[in-house]
Chain A
Amino acid sequence: MATAHVLEHTHTAGSFLGRYIFSQDHKVIGIQYFLTAMVMALVAGFLAIMMRLQLAFPNETWPLLEKLFPLGMEGGVMKPEFYLSLVTMHGTLMVFFVISFALVSGFGNFLIPLQIGARDMAYPFLNMLSYWTIVPACLLMIASFFVEGGAAAAGWTAYPPLSAVQNAVPGSGWGQTLWLLAMALFIVSFTMGGLNYVATILTHRTQGMSMMRLPLTIWTMFIAAILALLAFPALTAAAIMLLFDRHFGTSFFLPSGLYIGEQVLPHQGGTPLLWQHLFWFLGHPEVYVLLLPALGLTLDIIPAFTRKPVFGYRVTVTSLLVIAVLSLIVWGHHMFVSGMNPYLGEFFSIGTLLITLPSAAIGLNLIASLWGGSVRLTTPMLFALGVIALFGTGGLGGIFLGNAVSDVYLHDSYFVVGHFHFMIGGVTLFGIFAGTYYWFPKMFGRMMSERLGKIHFWLSLASFYGMFLGMHFLGLAGAPRRYYSFTQFSFLEPVVSLQLIVTISSFVFAAAQVIFLLNFFYSLKKGSKADKNPWNATTLEWTADSPPPHGNWNGEVPRVYRWPYEYSLPDAPQDFTPQTTPPAEAKVTM
């Protein structure tokens, strides 16, 4: 039988190469993704710090940085086009190569089989392939800094004509081509991952694990994977057309009469708005692809540290589904002032604000999950609470933007930058941290240091507000984004001093992440040994060894008798009842 075949395959441990490099074990692949994300986070975070330096000290010179980027930082002064490359690459790397990798690919691969009771993913080979597809993608992205003209500089949204015409901006040469190729590889890889997730969750659940007994992490991964499968092809199509516009003279996005570089281009009849539609058809669902798993992890971590079930499991699942469906039809809220048909603007505005209904329901469920519980403020729990707070703030900011009328003023201002850092850079990053502290024992068999973890949390939380709450007010004062400096306009004068607060906070934030990395690698070697179930949690992965062996469970795959949130069940022997506890030992509520 074919599946049995697969099983034997993953059970053979093999050589070092087979076990750690070209492994088909979902846990190893998950950790590979996770570590890759970490490396890319360092790169993207470093780019952010360089941006912050420029914005707070627009007139300084940085001879040290000149050594690293002799062209972009000639004479130690940052060039405007180099700043744009920084913004572009920071955004792209963070969204696709850090958060997607760590959250969706990392935790997804690691947790899905473990939490549904499978020995591996449905297609282990495809899984390995998906990881090895993103390795060249990462290399291409990083290499693009060192090609002629520098890295792509048209923003992570890569709007043409800027991204389509070589002369429009220096990064629009080789840098943009590499960017497109790397993104194409990323999409291919993510598609393979998505196929795997959907097939695994649908077909590899253990006995008794019905859909309504899935941990919310799995639900969010499932929905995110479907969203990705539906939305990503639009960017594939757009990228193909952009490559053809750039290199083969077609005119999909380029209208007639473009006058760039003192000459009229031969293109005819295309329209830049088409790219925006296609990009955001992907781009908007993509942010939920990242958000939902972060909420999923949070929703699974909270009950372990309140010792009670999550509030509103069914409401949450329904809301997640509603969000997913709606997220496919609201992309136009990024285009309110793009020159799009104003009637579409009205439609998209109403649709966007509809998303706040299920989102707020989830927000309420998150908060209400604390009610009546016995809250234990371990590091994972602290980060999970951070997720709630940041989700609330970022989401409420979204209400200003989803409203087409206020967005006329706020579009492309720092208000937007503040909003999305709370969401995509806050909720998701804090979710990753919460997940890391929580599942580290399962991944590596050791505990992370609580003390360092707490320091990491407090520094991160405080500096996060310092960085991004302030940006909302920069935006209200009118500061546009993707500005190399704010010295050219008198209406922006009040804004300059705020930049300093943001920059200093970003240093603190970066320092806090160094503590995290120290903690991570120190605990890998020296952390106290973890037993199977250090948090007394109920989900299936805690019935496997820490770290789990190949095939996840020695002996039979456990059978499931109940839903995953059976904490503090009256009359049960302990305050937690694992999903594997048969009905004979404790009553089944769901």
Chain B
Amino acid sequence: MVKTFNDVSTKTYWKIWSLLLLITLVMMLIDTAALARTLLVSLLLVGMLAKASLIAAYFMHLRFEKLSLVGIVTAGIFFTAAALFFLIAPDGVWILKSAVK
């Protein structure tokens, strides 16, 4: 049986919300801590992703949308955005390498 919107109690929302808050706080903490940058970035990335999917899943109640439609739309956006990003990024390095010294 599919869960519908109304089955989620207020409690769940508060839980999610506090989880989000926690993640934000942790991120702020990490930001100030002197961690190695790569570690930091990857930690924060994980945090972001967790947060984004929580928001997407609950607040935007994607969970209750028709999943395949959402899948197609997000996959499409993701593919395009990733294409743009990953095909431009190598040029950043290259431009730096060939920059006028």
A273 touches B95 (CB 8 A): yes
Give the residue of B76, B90, B91 whose beta carbon is less than 8 angstroms from that of A230.
B76
Asked whether, in the complex, the Cβ of A328 is within 8 Å of the Cβ of B83, the reply is yes
Q: Does B84 contact A (CB under 8 A)?
A: yes
Chain A residues with CB under 8 Å of B87's CB are 277, 329, 331-332, 344, 347-348
A191 to chain B minimum Cβ distance, whole angstroms, is 15
Determine if A226 is an interface residue (Cβ-Cβ < 8 Å). Answer: yes
A259 at the interface (CB under 8 A from B): no
Residue of A nearest to B77 (CB): A230
Is there contact, CB below 8 Å, between A230 and B94?
no
Q: How far is the CB of B37 from chain A (nearest CB, A)?
A: 21
Query: Is B1 in the interface zone, CB < 8 Å from A?
Result: no
Q: Are B91 and A328 in contact (CB under 8 A)?
A: no
Measured CA separation A234–B80 after assembly (Å): 11
- Residues B95 and A271 in contact, CB atoms below 8 Å apart: yes
Q: Which residues of A contact B80 (CB under 8 A)?
A: 230-231, 328
The residue that A277 contacts in the complex, of B76, B91, B98, B100, with Cβ under 8 A, is B91
> Is the Cβ of B84 less than 8 Å from the Cβ of A234?
yes
Interfacial residues of chain A within 325-362, with CB under 8 A of chain B in the complex:
325, 328-329, 331-332, 339-341, 343-344, 347-348
- Check if A341 sits within 8 Å of B76, measured CB to CB: no
The prevalent SS among residues of A at the interface is helix
- Look across to chain A and name the residue whose beta carbon is closest to the beta carbon of B69: A202
Q: Is the CB of B94 within 8 A of A340?
A: yes
Q: How many residues of B contact A (CB 8 A)?
A: 16
- Say whether B84 contacts A341, CB under 8 Å: no
Q: Flag whether B88 is at the interface (Cβ < 8 A).
A: yes
Q: Which chain B residues lie closer than 8 Å to A257 at the CB level? A: 100
Taking a contact as CB atoms closer than 8 A, the residue among B90, B95, B99 that contacts A343 in the complex is B90
- A335 (CB) vs chain B CBs: closest residue: B91
B69: min CB distance to chain A, Å: 9
The CA of A257 and the CA of B98, in the complex, are separated in Å by 15
Do most interface residues of chain B lie in helix, strand or loop, or is the interface mixed? helix
Docked CA distance A444–B40 (Å) = 65
**For A273, what are the chain B residues with a Cβ–Cβ distance below 8 Å?**
91, 95
Residues on B with beta carbons closer than 8 Å to the beta carbon of A226 = 76
Judged by a CB distance under 8 angstroms, whether A439 is at the interface is no
B residues 61-91 touching A (CB-CB < 8 Å)? 76-77, 79-80, 83-84, 87-88, 90-91
Min Cβ gap A576→B in Å is 35
Q: How far is the CB of B97 from chain A (nearest CB, A)?
A: 9
B91: A residues at CB distance < 8 A? 273, 277, 340-341, 344
Residue ID in chain B nearest A231 by CB atoms: B80
Q: Which of B77, B79, B88, B90 has the most CB of A within 10 A?
A: B88
Any B CB within 8 A of the CB of A281: yes
Q: Closest residue of chain A to B82, judged by CB?
A: A329
Residue of A nearest to B84 (CB): A281
Given A257-B100, A271-B95, A273-B95, also A341-B83 (CB < 8 A): no
28 contacts between A and B (CB under 8 A): A226-B76, A230-B76, A230-B77, A230-B80, A231-B80, A234-B84, A255-B99, A255-B100, A256-B100, A257-B100, A271-B95, A277-B88, A281-B84, A325-B79, A328-B79, A328-B80, A329-B83, A331-B87, A340-B94, A341-B90, A341-B91, A341-B93, A341-B94, A343-B90, A344-B87, A344-B90, A344-B94, A348-B87
Beyond the given A234-B84, A255-B99, could you list 17 further A-B residue pairs with CB under 8 A, ordered by the A residue number?
A230-B76, A255-B100, A256-B100, A271-B95, A274-B88, A277-B88, A281-B84, A328-B80, A331-B87, A332-B87, A340-B94, A341-B90, A341-B91, A341-B93, A341-B94, A347-B87, A348-B87
Chain B interface (Cβ within 8 Å of chain A)?
76-77, 79-80, 83-84, 87-88, 90-91, 93-95, 98-100
